[in-house]
Amino acid sequence: MSTPEQELLAVSEKLLQCIDGGDWDGYAALCDEQLTCFEAEAKTHLVVGMPFHKFYFDLPPSGHKQQSTIASPHINVVGDVGIVCYTRLVQRTTDNGPTSSSANETRIWRRDASGWKLIHCHRS
The per-residue pLDDT for range 54-69, each reduced to its tens digit, is 999 999 988 899 999 9
Going along the chain, which residue ranges are E strands?
A: 31-38, 47-48, 66-78, 81-94, 97-112, 115-123
Per-residue pLDDT of the chain (124 residues; tens, 9 = 90+): 799 999 999 999 999 999 999 999 999 999 999 999 999 999 999 999 999 999 999 999 888 999 999 999 999 999 999 999 999 999 999 989 999 999 999 999 999 999 999 999 999 9
The per-residue pLDDT for range 81-98, each reduced to its tens digit, is 999 999 999 999 998 999
Q: How far, in Å, CA of 17 to CA of 76, rounded?
A: 22
Domain CATH number, residue 71:
3.10.450.50
- Give the total number of structural domains in the chain: 1
Domain that holds residue 13: 4-123
